[in-house]
Chains A and B, each alone.
Chain A
Amino acid sequence: MSDAAVVAEQATDHVEDEHAGHATSLNLSNMKLAMWLFLGSECLLFGALISTYLLSKARFLTEILAGNPVVVDSISNPTLVEEMRAAGSVEPLFDIPFTSLSSFILLMSSLAMVLAHKAISEADYKNLRIWLGTTALLGSFFIAGQIAEFTAFKEEGLSFTGSLLGSAFFTLTGFHGIHVSGGIVMLMTLLVLSFKGKLNQDRAETVELVGLYWHFVDVVWVLIFTIVYLIP
């Protein structure tokens, strides 16, 4: 049974293959396949949240335009309500130039993420740390911008518990913010691992996977920014 010996030879590190980017049926590492599946699932999560926002906004606006007193009172600032009624949309709430800037910062972080992945592929650990740090920093700027925006909206009269629009807006953008924050934690973890010398070229795929997640979160923001802020 010499065949069996060959087969046994091939079989010995079957389970261990989970860490390697080879010898899987699809020639795609398990981790990468799993990350894509996870992101596919996340699409439906954000899809449902965005649908919820669109429905809630439409219902809110209908009631505002019809002058439903309960919904009008749900915004504590009467001027904002008047502006919304005049514009026929919730547009007056938003500060488009400010959010455009923070969106730009988030998109640039994706560039930094790509450069981090390139650096680790080339075993350029100095640049890896620089770009991982830059990505995390730009992400943090975005989160800071979101906190500033939330505070401003609260002062303008939109509250989470007060109105339907507030519940929907803060839940959707908050969910996205939590995703970005989770990404920042992952990036910082990678950075610490790199400084401890535990993130070398063999681990390039780890950086790539965090990158996949990070780019996905950015793409979701492009959708949210367009659908929530730009389309009246």
Chain B
Amino acid sequence: MAIFNEPLRYSLPEGDKPGVANPLGVFSRPRSETGLKDWLTTVDHKKIGIMYGSAAVFFMLIGGVAALLIRIQLATPNSNFLSADAYNQVYTMHGTIMIFLVVMPIGAAFANFLLPLQIGARDVAFPRINAFSFWCFFLGGLMLNSSWFLGGGADGGWFNYAPNNGVAYSPSHGIDFWNVGLLITGIASLSGAINLITTVLNMRAPGMDLMKMPIFVWMSLVTQFLLLFAIPVITVAQVLLLMDRVFDANFFNVEQGADPLLWQHLFWIFGHPEVYLMILPAFGIVSEVIPTFARKPIFGYPFMVFSGIAIGFMGFGVWAHHMFVSGIGPLSVTAFALSTMFIAVPTGVKILNWVATLWGGKLTLNTAMLFSIGLITQFTVGGLSGVTHAMAPSDTQQTDTYYIVAHFHYVLFGGALFGFMAGFYFWWPKVFGHMLNEKWGKWNFWTMVVGFNLTFGPMHILGLQGMPRRMQTYDDAMGFNLWNFWATVGSFILASGVLLFITNVFLSLYRWNKAGKPNPGPDPWDARTIEWSIQSPAPEHNFDYDPQIVSVDDFWHQKYAEDENGKLRKVAHGADIAQPGNGEGVHLPAPSYWPLLLAASLPLIGYGLIFSLWLTIPGGFLMVVSLYGWALEPADDLDLPHGHDDHKSDHAEIASTVNV
């Protein structure tokens, strides 16, 4: 059904040259397919995924340097390497950057790149909104980091508790940058969540029922729902703080009778779903890697799916376990202690299912697999220390000690980041068309494992000994010297592990170029899901035709079948049955300037809120122009070349307020 029956508004008179689609008369449509302009205007989910990943690794280097500064400061007692003020900024920014600008966006990078490929779609539902999400995240992150040069970073911890986050206790602009920067990255997360949920629910290939989707798609879907419902709550908390700090409101003004505990509640109603939405994408990744290299289907697919959904629901009911010592009363403490113990159950189900998948499998212990096993073991350690926090009396002792620091680094670094590393090594050929070096990869893995455990393992002991978090230094006589020293040694080993990864990236690229760019083929791992049924690197149009999905791990079932004796036999090679990568006749969404411009208006308004409200005028102007430019720009460019059967009449997109 062609829904646009009226004559082509953007079609050209006979004999005219292409070059219309010029909304508001400002720009002609970007056409570049290479170079900087292409990256600035692309709406291709794969390029956006790559940009998410590279930007996150860039921010990881900043956050990593901050971490090393913390460790140098704490290596010896009574150190004055960092002043107390600088130390406050460094640990606050370390936490904020690693959570909002590293772990969340790497999850978004994988989701962006893989979701359409794994469900058999050509792109996400709203390609331009996808670009907008990325630019909001990136520019918001840059704005947050610009605080280093504009009067110092935020200094109240990544959670910035009230009333400590007020102007009276934190007079620099650091918390304002934190506030506005994260409001902007929040817009990125929210628009991304709406986009990706719509994509997964609505754009699945024929035959791909919900219960045939790869586990990674499921976990990302749950993640996006968590974002959808958690982000508005932190947005409200940050708006209240913004009102207090910039416009002299009284939301956290104790003198006026305000209750600063409101901040903690709002923050953790967001903050606890937040920790699950950071780990679930990594869970999804290892759920793809482990079956591939154990040569077995995932154990208990429905259990994996429903435990993920259960985590999503229960994640909203445990927030006050961050607040056991804030005086919320015995009834609340009991209720939240119970719900916290319950949420360990679906997580335990996942661990058991991965182990059961490994059990009896023909294991290939390559780098991706090693990182996955690293996640299982280290996350289990972090998960177990997490259960000890559910015991409120014990947690009362551990609150604000290094025990907590050890716990969340075991789940977020040992868990999420190790999972992401597994994902990098696994999908690298699909993304870039060449493999990462295995030998360097194994060095990378073992260095990181040793460094990680040496850094964060001793923090359990330090915490139980009573060493408080967020303190600039400690006294010689406190007995914290030994393990702090070794944790610092470990942190440098860990940092060299990360550097080994970055070296591996460039080294593998260099060697691949030198070897004449050999193609790894569509299916280098003999893998299971349909993103391996297309060429490597994934062609711009993804699929030549819609894959027809019959079962979970559909691609694997195309390659293997049982013979008459019930014995499993390989019936086809991945490379032979893969789609050839012929994009003839495929019409892709056109690139656009407007997502970047609209996203750029937000930091402009943000700087205006911090420094001078006059700046919000050009920012607001840019925003209005971009919104209308976007809305009046057809989602497709009719003049882009396309093949013989492109149903041109269907593309007669007319101006409307809701072209996305």
Contact = CB atoms under 8 A, between A and B. Distances in A.
Interface of A: 4, 7-22, 24-26, 28, 30-31, 33-34, 37-38, 40-42, 44-45, 48-49, 52, 55-56, 59-60, 62-63, 68, 70-71, 74, 160-164, 166-168, 171, 175, 186, 189-190, 193, 198-200, 202-203, 206, 209-210
Contacts of B230: 44
A21 B587 CA distance: 19
A52 B589 CA distance: 42
A11 B205 CA distance: 9
A171 B657 contact: no
B119 to A, nearest CB: 9
B125 A200 contact: no
Given A171-B243, A189-B657, A24 B645 contact: no
B125 A44 contact: no
Given A68-B257, A164-B258, A26 B229 contact: no
Contact of B5 (A24, A55, A56, A202): A202
Contacts of A62: 257
Given A59-B259, A71-B256, A71-B257, A209 B658 contact: yes
A25 B204 contact: yes
Interface stretch (B94-102, B231-239, B280-288, B334-342): B231-239
B229 A16 contact: no
Given A16-B651, A44-B229, A48-B236, 16 more contacts: A14-B543, A14-B546, A33-B197, A34-B198, A37-B198, A40-B229, A41-B193, A48-B237, A52-B236, A56-B258, A70-B256, A161-B247, A164-B253, A167-B251, A206-B658, A209-B658
Nearest to B544: A8
17 contacts: A8-B544, A12-B645, A14-B121, A14-B203, A18-B126, A30-B125, A33-B198, A33-B202, A34-B195, A37-B193, A41-B231, A45-B232, A48-B237, A56-B258, A59-B259, A71-B257, A164-B257
A167 B588 CA distance: 48
Contacts of A16: 587, 636, 647, 650-651
B657 A70 contact: no
A44 B660 CA distance: 24
Contact of A12 (B247, B259, B646): B646
A7 B549 CA distance: 12
Interface in B618-653: 628, 631, 635-636, 645-647, 650-651, 653
A26 B204 CA distance: 9
A37 B200 CA distance: 13
B356 interface: no
B257 A60 contact: yes
B563 interface: no
B62 interface: no
B122 A48 contact: no
B349 to A, nearest CB: 27
Interface in B255-288: 255-259, 262, 266, 269
A195 B73 CA distance: 67
Given A12-B647, A70-B256, A26 B236 contact: no
On chain B, which size bracket covers the interface? 35 or more
Contact of B258 (A34, A48, A59): A59
A52 B262 contact: yes
B545 interface: yes
A21 B3 contact: yes
Interface centre among A30, A59, A74, A168, by most chain B C-beta atoms within 10 angstroms, is A30
Contact of A45 (B204, B235, B587, B589): B235
Contact of B250 (A20, A26, A163, A203): A163
B655 A198 contact: yes
10 shortest interchain CB distances as A-B pairs: A167-B249, A48-B236, A45-B232, A63-B257, A24-B202, A11-B545, A161-B248, A8-B545, A11-B546, A44-B232
B240 A171 contact: yes
A15 B587 CA distance: 8
A41 B544 CA distance: 35
B201 interface: yes
A14 B583 CA distance: 13
A167 B230 CA distance: 23
Nearest to B547: A7
B650 A171 contact: no
B548 A203 contact: no
